Amino acid sequence: MSETLFQRACARASVGMEIAAIAAEVPERIAIYSEHGRLSFAELNNQANQVANMLRANGLQEGDALALLCGNRPEFAVVRFACHRMGLRLTPINWHLAEDEIAYIVDNCDAVALFADIRVREQAQATVSGNDRLRVKIGIGGNIPGFQPFEQSIAEYSVENIENPSLGNMMLYTSGTTGRPKGVLHNLPDPQKAADMQAILSAVFQFQPDSGLDCALATGPLYHAGPFNLCMTTPLTAGISTVFMDQWEPEEMLKLVDQHSITHTFCVPTMFVRMLQLQDSVRNQYDVSSIRFVIHGAAPCSVDTKRAMLDWFGSVIWEIFAGTEGQGTIVSPQEWLEKPGTVGRSEPGHVKIVSEDGEDLPAGERGMVYLRTPPDSKFAYYKDEEKTGKVMRGDYFTAGDIGYLDDDGYLFLTGRSAEVIISGGVNIYPQEIDDVLATHPAVGDVACIGVPHEDWGEEVKAVVELRDGYSADDTLGEELLAHCESKLAKQKQPRSIDFVQRLPRSHAGKVQRRTLREQYWQGRDRQI
């Protein structure tokens, strides 16, 4: 029996050359559709080789770091697969962050090359100012002063597959509890296991790459782990065409599903909510029957919302519970319907529930959720052993989620550490916002928390204790909100201010953020 296209792609996974194998078999198959243009697999492979050869010519070598500040456009994938085959450590950056946060990440990840989208030209220029480490600066989608245009930078370099390819790595940044983002660096996987992982993912996703009919839809920003892995890397390295949405809108998603006969996609619960809010007359215009596999994650999804989506899309909606730090659980639609609200079951010993005293808890008892890190996929926060140690317990780590295991080993999430707010699938750590508000002369103390929001799951609320001499009123509230606008990325800015006489504190004087949070979540079954 002859090898399939997918098997031949897997055979090149150990050196990051899956795209090259696919391009050799189906060169004209479209790899990427987007509003910024399209690329066939041959074109994607050719440009990845050109970028790799250009970077080598500029002195980059295996183990070096490259930062990518780019929207959902074909160049994102080109750079990703260039790094993937030449052994570089790639850091995609959230371009919605403030200038100083972006500059910090570029510096902290030790990048020697930066690719930046024209949409963030000011942030890009500010980032390179004073950064002597950057040897290569490439502008995407337009001219950025001090950057070489993408097309011009690679024009003279060979499209032939590079010599001596080696598997690259990736390091994403997640928000930090003390205000600075932290890089999550995983051990580079055993190259020989890369093909095995591809095969596992292909089976879970139910890919049919040899048919040429499968098509994935990238819904969210590719700098997030979910879209990066599940909407781009996984389908493209399996030979699946992918549509990039550069800005998500509910009707536009349905339109693209219908237009491209989308078979696979990734969503966050907020997307489900907004699609369900569309009028029936709008929803019924579009055929979604092509969809075979939807996976959602990044934030809690209510039982009612998921039931409504299953009624609409059919039993094709899977759920994943995982973070940037590592693997978690996955649940099929059939399992979920038997146990509504579960986020899945993993192999025995993979999940532990731990009490505040550090004791392992039995089934049915609620505590902090810890996930085991596989030996070949351990992680560390880059250059920060202290932060790494705080989330680890032996071979297990926690992202601060609270839940329990039932008697059958299924995990249910019931809450979360008060030190993280999830709004629209984005992790926000309140300490950073506290620190900004604390610089205002009226603020004596402050605690930011996540409060319910029907569309986004949560929104940021600041609860403020005023200094003597200041009066709580709407004018001061607006002043405090404006104080945050110039200092915080938009998604981190508080949406409302509440004033209190005294914030709840422990005997040691520490503000009890969880106690404060509970009053806003009363009457809800799930304190997300």
Higher pLDDT, 353 or 468: 353
Reading the block at residue 122, the tokens are 């000011």
Query: What is the per-residue pLDDT across 362-397, written as a single tens digit (0 to 9) for each?
Result: 999 988 899 888 766 778 888 888 787 788 888 888
Domains 5-247 and 421-518 share a fold: no
In tens, the pLDDT along 514-523 reads 788 888 887 6
| Boundaries of every domain in the chain | 5-247, 421-518
More confident residue, 502 or 109: 109
**Two tokens at 296?**
């959602």
Distance from C-alpha of 345 to C-alpha of 406, rounded to nearest angstrom: 10
CATH 3.30.300.30 applies to domain 421-518:
yes
Q: Which of 116-120, 127-131, 193-197, 509-513 has the highest mean pLDDT?
A: 116-120
Identify the band that residue 175 occupies on the pLDDT scale cut at 50, 70 and 90: low
**For residues 425 and 61, which has the higher predicted lDDT (pLDDT)?**
61
Residue whose tokens read 């010599």: 163
Look at strands 30-33 and 39-40 and give their pairing: antiparallel
Task: Specify which residues 266 forms β-bridges with.
Answer: 295
Rounded CA Rg of the chain: 23
Q: How far apart are CA 418 and CA 433, in angstroms?
A: 14
Q: What residues contact residue 33 under an 8 Å CB cut-off, 6+ apart?
A: 241, 242, 243, 244, 260
Q: Which residue has the higher pLDDT, 405 or 454?
A: 405
In this structure, whether the domain defined by 5-247 belongs to CATH 3.40.50.980 is answered with: yes
Whether the pLDDT of residue 134 is over 90: the answer is yes
Q: Pick the closest to residue 232 from 72, 362, 408 (CA basis).
A: 72
The pLDDT value given to residue 508: 42
Q: Give the chain's mean pLDDT.
A: 87
The total number of residues shown for the chain amounts to 528
Cα–Cα nearest to 438, from 483, 469, 495, 499:
483
Q: Is 247 exposed, middle or buried (0-12, 13-18, 19+ CB in 10 A)?
A: exposed
As beta bridge partners, residue 369 has 353
Tokens of 215: 């098509």
Per-residue confidence band for 268, with pLDDT thresholds at 50, 70 and 90: confident
Lowest mean pLDDT segment, chosen from 3-12, 39-48, 93-102, 402-411: 3-12
Sheet holding 136-140, edge to edge: 148-149, 136-140, 111-117, 65-69, 89-92, 169-174, 182-186, 379-381
Whether residue 274 has pLDDT greater than 50: yes
The pairing of beta strand 421-423 with beta strand 426-428: antiparallel
Q: Would you state the structure tokens that stand for residue 177, as one six-digit string? A: 């509890």
* Choice between 414 and 40, residue whose per-residue pLDDT is larger: 40
pTM over 0.85: no
In this predicted model, what pLDDT tens digit does every residue of 207-266 receive, in sequence order?
888 888 999 999 999 998 888 988 899 999 999 999 999 989 999 999 999 999 999 999
494 phi and psi angles, rounded to 5 deg: -60, 145
Identify the pLDDT of residue 417: 63
